[in-house]
Homo-oligomer: A and B are copies of this chain.
Amino acid sequence: MDITGWQSQLRKGAAELVVLSLLQGGERYGLDILDSAGGSGGVLSDGTLYPLLTRLEREAKVEARWAMADDAKIPRKYYRLTAEGEALVAQMQRAWHEFSAFVTGAIEEAQDGRKTAPAGRTIPALAD
């Protein structure tokens, strides 16, 4: 069975949180963000990162500037959190921890329940 669509939905929800979190360490350029947040098990592809960065900039959660690092051959667009973005990412991280603990807890509880549930518990069906 194919769970690709479901996985995309989860990733889409998490991509903004991950990108904003990565920017907590200081300003970064797109490909650098992609190196950290893309790839196997990651939440981003280059097709999703740039539209996301554009939206985050429009929403004033990040701001960007073009700059040239010492070791760089070309100028790059560097993104950093605005004050609003800083506040937002802290709030999202708290919500993420609550959310992921809930889901992981529900999975574990179900699996423990399965191990300890009395075998053969049955509820009578309705008589026809």
Distance in angstroms from A111 CB to nearest chain B CB is: 7
Q: How many residues of A contact B (CB 8 A)?
A: 62
| Contacts A1-B87, A3-B91; A17 near B67 (Cβ below 8 A) | no
A123's partner among B12, B23, B68, B87 (CB-CB below 8 A) is B68
Query: Are A68 and B24 touching (Cβ within 8 A)?
Result: no
Copies in the complex: 2
Residues of chain B with a CB closer than 8 A to A78's CB: 123
Query: Are A125 and B1 touching (Cβ within 8 A)?
Result: no
A124, B76: Cα distance in complex, Å: 11
Distance in angstroms from A118 CB to nearest chain B CB is: 9
Question: Which residues does A use to contact B, with CB under 8 Å?
Answer: 1, 3, 6-7, 9-14, 16-18, 21-27, 36-37, 41-43, 65-70, 75, 78, 84, 87-88, 91-93, 95-104, 106-107, 109-111, 113-114, 117, 121, 123-126
